[in-house]
Copies of this chain bind each other. A is one copy, B any other.
Amino acid sequence: MSLYVMKFGGTSVGTIERIRAVADRVIRTKNQGHDVVVVVSAMAGETDRLVALAHSISKIPDQREYDVLVSTGEQVSIALLAMELKQRGYGATSFLGHQVTILTDAAYSKARIKEIHAPRLLEALRRGEIGVLAGFQGIDDHGNITTLGRGGSDTTAVAVAAAIRADVCEIYTDVDGIYTTDPNVCPTARKLSRISYEEMLELASLGAKVLQPRSVEFAMKYNVPIHVRTSFSDVEGSWVTKEVPEMEAVLVSGIAYDRNEAKVSLIGVSDTPGIAAKIFSTLADANICVDMIIQNISAEGRTDLTFTVPKADLARAVNLIDGIKDIVGAREVKTSTDIAKISIVGVGMRSHSGVAARMFETLANAKINIEMISTSEIKVSCIINARYLELAVRELHESFGLDREQVAEENSFAGAG
């Protein structure tokens, strides 16, 4: 007998019929003799409806009240699912954030879970009941309702799984697992049977949408195995677990991409100490996340500085830079929005050299120019012209053999590296 946390997203509970199908699946797991906690999101479309109501009051709705409003979406879902389970003769109790309790910080709309105390949930499990939890929400130290940001129900599920020491956290979604890359872009994309937390965290942070990055952080910290699978069939999905020795044999596990960045170049900036600090602290103070940064070699006391920011923040960033243009001595500010970031990720990079070189070579062979590069221990990211993104994904996917099971291939790669 194991303890399962099963999380279902908005599409999986989008209609009464689908809620019934979720109940089917939960009951099947329960009937296998397991204890079950279900975490659900708002019914598909409901959060959008609530957000539209908020925006019909105000362009920038008050953040505390915004969370009070949107958290009702999950409340509706848990009530309906618990009703359905009870009507089928299964003990079930719904739990809101304040009933679990899920304690967060007070950062409305993007709160972070601090602690989970779940005595009532554990008591319900001991009575043989199914716990039905509202995802996405918590309360702060003063009892104010908070929400965790889009995709936050994943984090609720993993954090609760960690708190109650569940054996597995199943994330049911509308895809059947984690792929080597986006199958819409690359038809030979292959479902991964297993991936490490570190790799998943990089992929999620770099644009893969299957899991909220924060949920992977939790899973990694508390070693909760995640099973990402489809709610529409029984097929086995992908497991996200701690790194095991076999994983190192694979150079690259996945390819992620992101079209949501824009590039800003400051031309002819004075190359004196404190200038970069001035620029980036100005952006940080405005809560604009700078991703990649490059600085050219200085000539005649001047240099060019290029960085990327989210497209949504570009206008604000340019405004801020214009305000300090004279202080930092920039001759010109150029921007570009037709860029894309492509990243390869794999824990195998730690122990194998030549992976980055192979990436650059593959792109060069396809005549794709690399505008910026950033690397970490287990990933390499390049900024390229957006029009070549799909081509780059397919070329890299083939070059690193992601269309084939890789353990057998690994030795030849390592040799070539």
Residues of B within 8 A of A86 (CB): 62, 65
A33 to chain B, nearest CB (A): 24
Q: Determine whether A80 belongs to the interface, using a CB cutoff of 8 Å to chain B.
A: yes
Q: Determine whether A75 belongs to the interface, using a CB cutoff of 8 Å to chain B.
A: yes
Residues 264 to 300 of chain A near chain B (Cβ within 8 Å): none
Supposing A53-B16, A99-B143 touch, asked if A68 and B58 sit within 8 A by C-beta, the answer is no
Which residue in B53, B71, B83, B120 is a CB contact (below 8 Å) of A66? B83
A215 to chain B, nearest CB (A): 25
Residues of B within 8 A of A93 (CB): 64
- A76 near B83 with CB under 8 A, answer no
Give the number of chain A interface residues (Cβ < 8 Å).
37
A58 to chain B, nearest CB (A): 5
Residues 44 to 99 of chain A near chain B (Cβ within 8 Å): 50, 53-54, 56-58, 61-62, 64-66, 68-69, 71-72, 75-76, 78-80, 82-84, 86-87, 93-94, 96, 98-99
A141 to chain B, nearest CB (A): 12
- B80 near A69 with CB under 8 A, answer yes
Q: Determine whether A130 belongs to the interface, using a CB cutoff of 8 Å to chain B.
A: no
Residues of B within 8 A of A62 (CB): 82-83, 86-87
- B53 near A65 with CB under 8 A, answer no
Supposing A53-B16, A57-B16, A87-B58 touch, asked if A75 and B82 sit within 8 A by C-beta, the answer is no
- B83 near A58 with CB under 8 A, answer yes
- A79 near B66 with CB under 8 A, answer yes
- Residue-by-residue, is A87-120 near B (CB-CB < 8 Å gives 1, otherwise 0)? 1000001101011000000000000000000001
Q: Determine whether A19 belongs to the interface, using a CB cutoff of 8 Å to chain B.
A: yes
Q: Could you tell me the distance between the alpha carbons of A58 and B88 in the complex, rounded to whole angstroms?
A: 10
Q: Could you tell me the distance between the alpha carbons of A69 and B56 in the complex, rounded to whole angstroms?
A: 24
Q: Could you tell me the distance between the alpha carbons of A79 and B108 in the complex, rounded to whole angstroms?
A: 14
- A79 near B69 with CB under 8 A, answer yes
Supposing A57-B19, A93-B64, A98-B98 touch, asked if A76 and B84 sit within 8 A by C-beta, the answer is no
Residues of B within 8 A of A57 (CB): 16, 19, 80, 83-84, 87
24 A-B pairs within 8 Å (CB atoms) are namely: A16-B53, A16-B56, A19-B57, A53-B80, A54-B83, A57-B83, A57-B84, A58-B83, A62-B83, A64-B93, A64-B94, A65-B82, A65-B94, A66-B83, A68-B78, A68-B79, A68-B94, A69-B75, A71-B75, A72-B72, A72-B75, A72-B76, A98-B98, A99-B144
